Structure 1
Amino acid sequence: MLTAMTTTYRCPADGTRAPVETAGWCCPGCGGPWDLDFDAGSVQLDALPRRVNSLWRYAEALPLDAPSVSLGEGRTPLVALTPSVTAKLDFLMPTLSFKDRGAVMLVELARRLGPERVRGVIADSSGNAGTAVAAYCARAGLPCTVYVPEATSPKKTEQIRAHGARLERVAGDREATALAAHAAAGEPHTFYASHVHNPYFLHGTKTYVYELWEEYGGRLPGTIVVPVGNGTLLLGAALAVAELYGNGLITERPALVAVQAEAVSPLATAFHAGADELLPARGAAPAPTLAEGIAIPNPPRARQILRAVRASGGTFLTVTEDQLRAAQRDLAARGLFVESTGVACWAAVRDWTDGSAVVPLCGAGAKTGLSA
């Protein structure tokens, strides 16, 4: 059973609305992802020290409260890397990636919908989101199936299986994996824990910025740098900034700087071309990249991502494979072993001097090993 905070899904493309309890996983009109009609309350900074030491301390800003599936996610530390750049260690999560922030919201939602509506959960992922959903489903006692591309890191697939989920390897790339999950999502009593289509995930990832706001004493750094594939962390960050500003809790909005791998950078290409949406694909398929977690050729929320970065006064940066390798080794030499996707932001801003910036270190190096 959902709480009094229950609200409705809304399609950002055509305005369609549907009850959370009975809606399908995507907009029935256009097939696109949902947003959530939800007005976040004002979080009072002086009340936080007395609250639970997890992301659930920001209760007024969350569409669900009093979770039963929490593993203590959130409240990851900040560590200075240079005088200008600080890292937030989001790989220090229960499943070793930032995806726990959103996965706990999805699984808590699935649990509250009850067995009359949900008897199993499916997810699709390049690894980390699937691992997070599998872990929280294990916590909730919900059967889980995770679809992954055939080239997914063996260490990630082992972690998914360890949580008791059924693993479905899909021949082809990340898009083929999503299509396989979409086909299964229509089965009766199935909850599609889509970190792309379901906005509850974004309301989980936005806590990344609420934590920065708290750690910075009621303000935010001048620049927030995030890796972008499907854009779930960036859109969560934009959501949090809008809520904090709208509730009078900050007076200045940070610039959002998005980072993509040069090998798969459709959003960066569109942004720098001045386009409002992705440009038509040309030539061969994208090249492989070490940053597998952000290798998304056609993100469904592309228009929202481009709009959010522009509205913030931010930009897109891209990094090469050599930069990713060098950044991973550099962080390891500093005592931080981070997976190759998770180092993308550090690779992009190692020489940053334009005011204060925060980068997320999104996944543990134990998930992929050291890049060759």
Structure 2
Amino acid sequence: MPAAPLAELVPGTRTPSGPGGLWRYRACIPVGDDIAARLTLGEGHTPIVSAGSDLEGVALKLEFVFPTLSFKDRGAVVLIASAVERGARRVVADSSGNAGSAIAAYAARAGLECQVFVPAAISARKRAQILAYGASLECVAGDRTAAAEAAIAAVARTGATYASHIYNPYFLQGTKTFAFELWEQLGRGVPDAVIVPAGNGTLALGAARGFSELQAAGLIERVPALIALQSECCAPLAQAWTMGSREPVDVEVTPTSAEGIAIPRPARGAQILAAVAHSGGCVVSVPEVAIEPAQRDLAARGLFVEPTAALVWAGLLIARHHPAVRGIAVESEGWTVARALTRGNVAVPLCGSGLK
């Protein structure tokens, strides 16, 4: 990636004759400006706020401040823009909720027909949001993998474009802008660590790509350590990390409130594990009982997030031995690393609104 598109940016400005938000980095996003201008809903450049005086060095990036209330808009707008450029008229997606809402919204914006396959157990609010955008919603018995298989079968049957936030490379071209924004908002620097949720890894992989591009452009000397978190109820990556495996492992799955990352067989699991290892980070699982206290703690700070976002906050609180999670003990080599990494400056993206 050429250095100029990022190096020439002045913090707080728009690009010459161009939009703000994530399209501020449009020279680094491989879709046409005309399509971007037509589809944008003002997504991106989400706020960063301090966590508070009790958590020194912790910055919260409010990734739920998006048109559809989750960070998935970053990837969805770029994915749909690329589909429009390629002449798509109908798209099919699979999701645990947030990606489906984002793809449905931008498909509506683009005038595309949209069909979204979801596990039947997703929340009623997420179903309602997808339907509100005019998408066809298919609730599939089984887990997240079953929804993906049904979507792929529909694509084969109908010839529609598969708008997969997992496999389509354009989605990560959008989520990488998280790293660009963080770099700018922190005064052209990066924190010691970034804590991310890890299901299918669209934020973890996008952030890794973005930080890598910043480093390749000579704008940062090092990439921040990625601390990837999963629920203990569905932790194929965390268990793989503990075992020293380069591939996700089969796990017994139990219900979790963090439905957004309840992915028993992540298709890009090996890439997620590799990206975390390359960054010097770790993958750990969070006790389910820590999610609700963390959600309450954020609400007391004025921030209402969904359980998946609260899980990430729970990880930070546990690593910092915060009173909000007193009595919740975790011990593993991964958590030892996480505690060491979170002693310095840490960025915590809060990826979904509590209204979800």
TM-score (norm 1): 0.84
2:355 corresponds to:
366
Q: Distance in 2 between matches of 1:137 and 1:360?
A: 25
Do residues 291 (structure 1) and 286 (structure 2) align? no
- Whether the aligned pair in 1 keeps the contact of 2:95 and 2:117 (CA below 8 Å) is yes
Offset, 1:107:
0.7
Would the aligned equivalents of 2:3 and 2:218 in 1 still touch at CA under 8 Å?
no
Q: In structure 2, how many angstroms separate the alpha carbons of the residues matched to 1:152 and 1:287?
A: 15
Alignment of 1:174-185 (within 5 A): 174-185=144-155
Query: Which residue, out of 129, 138, 146, partners 1:168?
Result: 138
Question: Is contact 1:256-1:312 (8 Å) kept?
Answer: yes
Match of 1:128 among 98, 101, 118: 98
**Which residue type is aligned with residue 350 of structure 2?**
L
Letter of the 2:343 partner, please give it. Answer: D
Once the two structures are superposed, the pairs formed by residues 189-208 of structure 1 within 5 Å of their partners are 189-208=159-178
Displacement, 1:217? 1.5
Secondary structure of the 2:230 match is strand
Provide the residue aligned with 1:331 in structure 2.
298
Is 1:119–1:189's contact at 8 Å kept on the other side of the alignment? Answer: no
SS of the residue corresponding to residue 50 of structure 1 reads coil
* Gap runs ≥5 in structure 1: 1-38, 368-372
Q: Which residue of 1 aligns with 2:247?
A: 277
Determine if contact 1:84/1:356 at 8 Å carries over to the other structure. Answer: yes
| Distance (whole Å) between structure 1 residues aligned to residue 112 and residue 177 of structure 2 | 25
Report whether the alignment pairs 1:54 with 2:21: yes
- Matching residue of 1:44: 7
Structure 1 residue 113, shift from structure 2 partner: 1.0
- The residue identity in structure 1 corresponding to 2:31 is L
SS of 1:186's partner is: helix
Q: Select the residue among 195, 198, 214 that pairs with 1:228.
A: 198
The residue that corresponds to 1:305 in the other structure is 272
Deviation, structure 1 residue 252: 2.0
The CA RMSD measured in Å over matched residues stands at 1.3
CA distance in structure 2 between the partners assigned to 1:256 and 1:53 by the alignment:
27
Report the equivalent of 2:113: 143
Amino acid at match of 2:183: W
Q: Secondary structure at the match of 2:39?
A: coil
Contact 1:146 1:166 in 2 (8 A): yes
Is 1:237 matched with 2:203?
no
Aligned mates of 2:173, 2:76 — CA distance in 1: 10
Q: Distance in 2 between matches of 1:155 and 1:45?
A: 42
Q: Provide the rounded CA distance (Å) in 1 between the counterparts of 2:94 and 2:267.
A: 14
Aligned counterpart for 1:111 among listed residues 71, 77, 84:
84
Q: Conserved in 1, the CA contact under 8 Å of 2:119 and 2:139?
A: yes
CA distance in 2, matches of 1:228, 1:148: 18
Matches of 2:125 and 2:29 in 1, distance apart?
Answer: 32
Q: Classify the secondary structure of the residue corresponding to 2:355.
A: helix
SS in 2 for 1:269: helix
**Contact conserved, 2:247 with 2:270, CA < 8 A, in 1?**
yes
- Give the 5 Å matches for 1:69-80: 69-80=39-50
**Does the CA-based 8 Å contact 1:230-1:294 persist in structure 2?**
yes
Q: Which string of whole-angstrom CA distances, capped at 9 and with x for unpartnered residues, describes residues 46-74 of structure 1?
A: 44513222101012221124112111110
Change (3 A) 1:103 1:308: same
Moved over 3 A (4+): 39-42, 45-48
Structure 2: which amino acid aligns with 1:341? T
CA distance in 2, matches of 1:59, 1:213: 16
Q: 2:228 aligns with which of 258, 265, 270?
A: 258
Q: Gapped runs of 5+ residues in structure 2?
A: 321-341
Q: What CA deviation, in whole Å up to 9, does each residue of 1:195-253 have, x standing for no partner?
A: 00111101110101100011011111110110000011000011011110011011122
What's 2:122 paired with? 152
Cα distance, 1:320 vs structure 2 = 1.3
In structure 2, the CA distance between the partners of 1:249 and 1:232, relative to structure 1 (3 Å rule), is same
AA partner of residue 106 (structure 2): Y
Cα contact 1:121–1:192 (8 A) shared by 2: yes
Task: Measure how far apart 1:130 and its partner are.
Answer: 0.2
Partner amino acid, structure 2, of 1:218: R
Distance in 1 between residues matched to 2:276 and 2:303, nearest whole Å = 28
Q: TM-score, normalising length from structure 2?
A: 0.88
Q: Deviations over 1:276-329 (max 9, x none)?
A: 1123x26xx400101000000111111111111111110112111110011111
